[in-house]
Amino acid sequence: MGKDSKTLCKWDKDEIKDNLKELKKIVAEPRYVCKKCGRAAKKEEHLCKPEPLDK
């Protein structure tokens, strides 16, 4: 699995720090929340157990 397909859920704190610019894009205007990890993202592909926010 390449870095591009890794879900936000699996980022560790160093990856968050190193990819802060990308992270800001992913979490801007969140449409989905992860039922497992409690993280939010704009696209469901970034989360391991995505659930639409507007439900």
Token couple for 18: 């190193």
Choose which of 33, 34, 40, 41 interacts with Zn ion (CB under 5 A).
Answer: 34
Choose which of 36, 43, 45, 51 interacts with Zn ion (CB under 5 A).
Answer: 36
Cα 2 to Cα 5: distance, rounded to the nearest angstrom:
6
Please, are residues 46 and 26 in contact by the beta-carbon 8 Å criterion?
yes
Choose which of 27, 37, 42, 44 interacts with Zn ion (CB under 5 A).
Answer: 37
Cα 14 to Cα 35: distance, rounded to the nearest angstrom:
23
Q: For Zn ion, which is the closer residue by CB, 25 or 36?
A: 36
Positions that interact with Zn ion (CB under 5 A):
9, 34, 36-37, 47-48
